Amino acid sequence: MATDNDFGAFIEKLTISPTPSSLVPPSLQGLTFAIKDIFDVEGRVTGFGNPDWLRTHSAATSTAPAVSSLLEAGATALGFTIMDEMACSINGDNVHYGTPRNPIAFDRLPGGSSSGSAVAVAARLVDFSIGTDTGGSVRVPASYCGIFGFRPSSNAVSTAGVTPLAQSLDTVGWFARDTATLKRVGCVLLEQPHLKCIEPDQLIIADDCFKLCSISRDLLVQPLVGAVEKSFGGKTVVKKVNLGEYIEENVPSLKHFMTSDDVTTQQEFSIPSLMALSSSMLLSVMHEFKINHSAWVSSVKPEFGPGISALMEVAIRTSDEKIDHCRSVKSELKTALSTLLGEKGVLVIPTVPGPPPHLKADVAALESFSSRAFGLLSIAGVSGFCQVSIPLGLHENLPVSVALVAKSGSDGFLLSLVDSLAGFM
């Protein structure tokens, strides 16, 4: 169980020594890492953020390949981290095991569901950590805790031995405090040992998306644009796009998720197509969660925290009526964004709509923030593109970030790009 001196990050401290392999270079030798309690390790029961899950499941008979690859590359695991129950929240709280303490902003949420993994890195308890990202569970806590967080392309890293939330969207992501470590870990998990920096041919700023933020666009975008110009000598084309309009025009199946409220709302932060995209993503998550876990929920009748309990009820009642439309949205979005970005383009968006919410934020404010956040997070989440959250330091004593998105399969390109920009930001 977590203690005050580890910021409440760990649910179990347990040293797992490296398992060097003659087939794998020891590229992570000397580094330590933490494991989200969603990954199987042989001989241990995976907790999935809920004590009833822990009680009713058996020990894993094998170790998740993602964990094995890190150990084989020379890294040492120091324990397992707290996560949101059933990976079903981006807040970072857990009624059973406690809420890991955000080391950068003590009175703010740490972000979830990979909360403990982010906190362990931000608090310098480990060099890096691994988590999962379905609808934002690496990108959000990375932003809230002021560290780097990488969500890879769909299927780029094996999810075998990972308790599923929604397999069509689940990814294995990772956290680090610096780009060099982020890249080293990525080389191992992606099985791409030699990554070279390739200059992006265009930096596409989703101008409308920054209107969702409580922080000025220039504060988030200018450091990045300046770093790209310094790093590549001004050769990269920088342009703006209204991403909401582009998606609405090029993803026709989104019409099945558009509501009259989406279309008629006058609120500045509303982007109807992203709200619809978020609805499609969340429906997919609930549908697949129902398939994966409804039998267990019905038979065990586990104790959930209030917010998670309500979510479980929604999941169990989820209809498959629009699931074919979800699949169409996914395919159309991937095609549309591939056309927009080309081979070497990068999309610039906010990771989340602002600094981390207060620990005691009222329900309405938190729901509004989360609604805008899921609109942004669904861009990479639904398309299966890779995304990195980049910390930009503090604004009014709170961590802020910006994100880069690259086309599916361009993970190495994105990691190398971020590493090359690090010295100029």
Query: What is the C-alpha separation between 79 and 1, in angstroms, rounded?
Result: 11
- Kindly give the residue spans of alpha helices, DSSP state H, lying in 301-410: 306-316, 323-341, 363-383
Query: What is the C-alpha separation between 185 and 388, in angstroms, rounded?
Result: 14
Which tokens go with 266? 């006058």
Which tokens go with 376? 């942004």
157 Cα distance to chain centroid: 14
Helix (H, G, I), strand (E, B) or coil at 256: helix
Query: What is the C-alpha separation between 241 and 292, in angstroms, rounded?
Result: 38
Phi/psi at 54 (nearest 5 deg)?
-60, -45
Q: Which residue among the candidates 68, 69, 113, 115 is catalytic per the annotation?
A: 113
DSSP conformational letter for 346: E
The one-letter code for the residue type at 422 is A
Q: Which residue among the candidates 68, 114, 115, 137 is catalytic per the annotation?
A: 137
How many Cβ atoms are within 10 Å of 261's Cβ, its own excluded? 10
In sequence order, the 6+-apart residues with CB closer than 8 A to the CB of 212 are: 269, 271, 350, 353, 372, 375, 376
Q: Is 298 a catalytic residue?
A: no
Query: What is the C-alpha separation between 407 and 6, in angstroms, rounded?
Result: 37
The one-letter code for the residue type at 303 is E
Q: Is 36 a catalytic residue?
A: yes
Helix (H, G, I), strand (E, B) or coil at 130: strand
Q: Is 240 a catalytic residue?
A: no
How many Cβ atoms are within 10 Å of 45's Cβ, its own excluded? 16
> Catalytic site residues?
36, 113, 137
